[in-house]
Chains A and B, each alone.
Chain A
């Protein structure tokens, strides 16, 4: 029943799209005031998608296995929480969520843009409806979440256990708010370009939407990263996996856009660049969806390898790119009022430098992600591009990037100079001395580390100083930049100080090295609702004789039959102690991995700070 309502709501939603387009076109041509019926219709469409979404949730909660999606991804013994989160833990459901966010955003946009030009609002709605229709058709035609199966099975196939995790329950919605939020930027930029509406006021208005989508994307990536850290059992937080890369690419463009919009707001220059970035953001989000959903990339996000789906997204993507390029080339007019006054030492230049770096990082990641696919198509040679590639190309460029990030905000608009900037040099010397000191003590390779640590400390100290001196002025930017310096420092020290031990142990055995002693004390079994749990007890004794007990866990799920290992992590402010245990088939040995990972909490905290900076900026006006 719920499935049936869900499906028809979807169809109604699609029909409403055409109705909205009809009214919008009429309104666009004939009248000078915004037709309020359109708002109601947009709300109605959003409402129908919500009904459909709840229909799917109810089917999941009731374990209605006549629904194919539920059958494929649920099981009666699954805890209620994961029945609900399982709704978007699969291909069909996650696309329905995507559609939900699309309709939500356009509804909010229409509500929040009352002070804007009528034509601009209507045209944005029209462009957004094109995207919405595309996704409606995609959903109904290739990935209907409400497919009926008969005879009705008694039991479902179950949800992949590694997705049965609280972080992963909220990771997709948050990430989608970021991904799909960029669709509003895309539609409104196209509308503004076609109407030649780009102005300082427009920049101010669109900045909020860029911020919203940027904040959610940042948090979404953070959640995914935290999940990977404790669930995948490798003890890392970023693997340069293609699936991670596709989320980082729109983030880089959004970050560039966020900075560029400031220039537009202040000086009305770089308009073309803003348009290009806005188009690129959504295009990259779509590309990400295509790569992940088509099954080209093999990962946890690939639910079903259905070529038809990939083809549909690809064609749709090409249409959107074609449409936006057409609008860009034929409607876009450059306004040259004060384009000529570009002095080399100014805030504009520093923001441009930021953009250049972002584009460089983007192209590195894009090539690293796409090149293997191309090569496989062309020569059927299979390759993979790993962390060394990215480390080599990105880390050296972080140094000038960090310096630009420190000095850039200190410059004035239009033209600046270095008078009264003595403290900048002073802080540089302090950071340099400090990092030489640290590098010497640690006895690590000198040149690269010293400069990198210096650059990170420099940004760290300067932003810290600004908190005290300027207090609330530029608080948002300062928080985000401070967060970034903290992130780089934490990652650096994390990679320098991390150590790990991998060994195979039987119960009662002990492993010993010069730093600590690991003894495998005992094993304990427990039956949970939908899995059997095996918990090991390990004593770790360090040189000072301090004993710590770690209890990594193995979970044997029955539906589907998969073993997952739950890392045991002892967290404190300075270090994480991380232990995983794996079963090797039919043997008494357990595969043990023990890691000491310093500053992990700080990595999470700094990324949170970065997005918090965005949040401050969003609410600044209202304070």
Chain B
């Protein structure tokens, strides 16, 4: 039959293949569990059901919508077609201002309320979420 060396090499190749498949499977599996989808207020409005997963909502902060109390910040994200109320307790980035772009991460309470756990800092004062840019273009 085959020599010891051939068997050994065969075994080695098999081992590598199994590790490879296993690690790719593992990566893809946890990718599925851990990605955060990005939605605009309009996309949320047309959702069939409220997901329990963490999502990101992006849009512009509506003018005159920020109100702040000692433990939370409330504001409205709009993409100029639809809007959504956001309740957030945490640090807001410096570029968080009315009329500017914002991305909030958190969970949907219902189609009108979003509980944010994080507001993302953008480094550029001219940043605008891509959805909003498209929405503005359509107008």
Contact = CB atoms under 8 A, between A and B. Distances in A.
A334 to B, nearest CB: 15
A381 interface: yes
A489 B16 CA distance: 31
Contacts of B36: 383-386
Interface of A: 160, 162, 232-234, 298-300, 356, 360, 363-364, 367-368, 371-372, 381-386, 388-389, 392-393, 502-505, 509, 554, 560-565, 580, 582-587, 589, 591, 593
Contacts of A593: 91
Contacts of B27: 363-364, 367, 393
Contacts of A382: 37-38, 130
Nearest to A372: B35
B18 interface: no
Nearest to A389: B34
Contacts of B31: 367-368, 371, 385, 389
B85 interface: no
Interface of B: 19, 23-24, 26-28, 30-31, 34-38, 56, 66, 68-73, 89-98, 121-125, 127, 130
B32 to A, nearest CB: 10
Contacts of A371: 31, 35
Contacts, number: 106
24 contacts: A160-B124, A233-B93, A233-B121, A234-B121, A363-B24, A364-B27, A368-B31, A371-B31, A385-B36, A386-B34, A389-B31, A389-B34, A389-B35, A392-B30, A393-B30, A504-B70, A504-B73, A562-B94, A580-B91, A582-B96, A584-B68, A584-B73, A591-B91, A591-B92
A386 B89 CA distance: 20
Contacts of B19: 356
Given A232-B121, A389-B35, A393-B30, 13 more contacts: A234-B121, A360-B23, A367-B28, A368-B31, A382-B37, A383-B38, A384-B36, A384-B38, A385-B34, A502-B90, A505-B70, A562-B125, A582-B92
Contact of A587 (B37, B66, B95): B66
A234 B37 CA distance: 22
A591 to B, nearest CB: 5
B9 to A, nearest CB: 11
- Lowest 6 A-B CB distances belong to which pairs? A382-B38, A389-B34, A300-B123, A563-B94, A383-B35, A593-B91
A411 B94 CA distance: 54
Contacts of A583: 94
Nearest to A300: B123
Contacts of B70: 503-505, 509, 589
Contact of B123 (A162, A234, A565): A162
